[in-house]
Amino acid sequence: MGKWIRRAVVLVIAAIFLFSVISIIVTLYQYRVSGELYDDVARQYTALASGTGGSGAGGAGAGSEADGSGGTQAGLAGESAEIAPIQVDFEGLQALNGDIVGWIYCQDTPINYPVIHGEDNDFYLRRSFDKTNNMAGSIFIEALNRHGFVDSNMIIYGHHMKNGSMFAVLDSWDNQEFYEEHPVMWLLTPERDYRIDLFSGYTTSAYSDTYTIFQGPGEPLDEYLAECAAKSVFQADVELDSEARYVLLSTCAYVFDNARYVLHGKLVPADSAGGVMTETK
C-alpha cells in the first residue's frame, strides 16, 4: 500500500512540475508574440519627425539630443512644445481599429504604443490594438472619460508586464534621477499633439481619490492637483493651473493588495498633429 502511495505522490509532483514548465513556456511565448506585435505596429505606423535625425521610431530612443526630452524644442519652461519627436500614421491605424485615438511615447523607454478608447474598461485588458487576444492587452483610456481629450484630466491604463513592456516602467519614476532624465512624455493625436510635463509619481490604491475625473476647471481640480503634487516621490518644477488639461498614467504595483503606481502629467499643446507641423498654433 505504501509503495502505491509513494508512486502516486511522485506522479502528482511530476505532473505539477510539468504543468509549471508548460506554463512558463506558454508565458514566454506570449511575451514574445506581444512584443513582436507592438514592435511591428511601431515600425509600420511611426517614424521620426522631420529634423530629429535617425531613420525610424520603432525603437524607443528617437528624439532630439539638444534638450533630452524627445522634442525639437521641448523645454519645460516654454508655453509651446513645438512639434512632437515622432510622426504617426493615424489614418492607417484607424483603418485597423477605429478605437485608436492616440499614441503615447517616451524617449529611451519602452513606452511607444497606440492609445485606445473603448466602450468599457474590460475589452482591451487582454486584447491588443487590433482586438486579438493578447495577455499584454492595450494602453487604453478610462471609459468614463469623454472622447476627444476634452476632460480636464484623462486616465490612461497599462499593464505592468514582467518583461518590462507596456507600463511596467512607470515605477522607475520612483527615483529623482530617472525623473530628471525623463521629465516628459508625448501624447500624439490626429487633431493635436501634447507634451506631457510630468509633475508627480507615487503608489496608491486602485480605489483612491486619485482616480477622480474632472470634466472642467475649478477649485476642486486645483485642490486635487495640489494633493497629487504633494504625494510625489520626485521633485518637479511644473506650474499647475486648472485651466490646463492633465493626464494620469496608471499601472499595477505589488506593494500591497490593489496597489497602483501612477504618474501625473500636464498636457502642453504642441504645434503639430500626428507629428506633422500644423499651420496655426
pLDDT of 59 > 50? The answer is no
> Mind listing the pLDDT tens digit for each residue in 2-47?
667 676 666 666 666 555 555 555 555 566 656 678 989 999 999 9
Residue of 155, 156, 252, 253 with catalytic role: 252
Q: What is the pLDDT of residue 242?
A: 85
Rounded Cα distance, 45 and 53, in Å: 17
Please identify, in words, the CATH class of the domain defined by 37-277: mainly beta
pLDDT of 170 > 80? The answer is yes
Mean pLDDT, rounded, for 62-81: 44
pLDDT of 196 > 50? The answer is yes
Q: What is the pLDDT of residue 66?
A: 33
Which residue has better confidence, 54 or 279? 279
Rounded Cα distance, 250 and 253, in Å: 9
Which residue has better confidence, 75 or 223? 223
Rounded Cα distance, 235 and 125, in Å: 32
Nearest residue to 132 via CA among 120, 123, 144, 145: 123
**How confident is residue 111, by pLDDT bands cut at 50, 70 and 90?**
very high
Query: Which residues make beta-bridge pairs with 102?
Result: 115
pLDDT of 198 > 90? The answer is yes
pLDDT of 155 > 80? The answer is yes
Q: What is the pLDDT of residue 82?
A: 85
- Give the rounded percent of residues in the chain with a pLDDT score beyond 90: 69
3-state SS string over the chain? CHHHHHHHHHHHHHHHHHHHHHHHHHHHHHHHHHHHHHHHHHHHHEEECCCCCCCCCCCCCCCCCCCCCCCCCCCCCCCCCCCCCEEECHHHHHHHCCCEEEEEECCCCCCEEEEECCCCCCHHHCECCCCCECCCCCEEECCCCCCCCCCCEEEEECCECCCCCECHHHHHHCCHHHHHHCCEEEEECCCCCEEEEEEEEEEEECCCHHHCCCCCCCHHHHHHHHHHHHHCCCCCCCCCCCCCEEEEEEEECCCCCCEEEEEEEEEEECCEECCEECCCC
Q: What is the pLDDT of residue 279?
A: 72
Which residue has better confidence, 174 or 33? 174
pLDDT of 1 > 80? The answer is no
Domain range annotation of the chain: 37-277
Residue 228 annotated among the catalytic residues of the structure? no
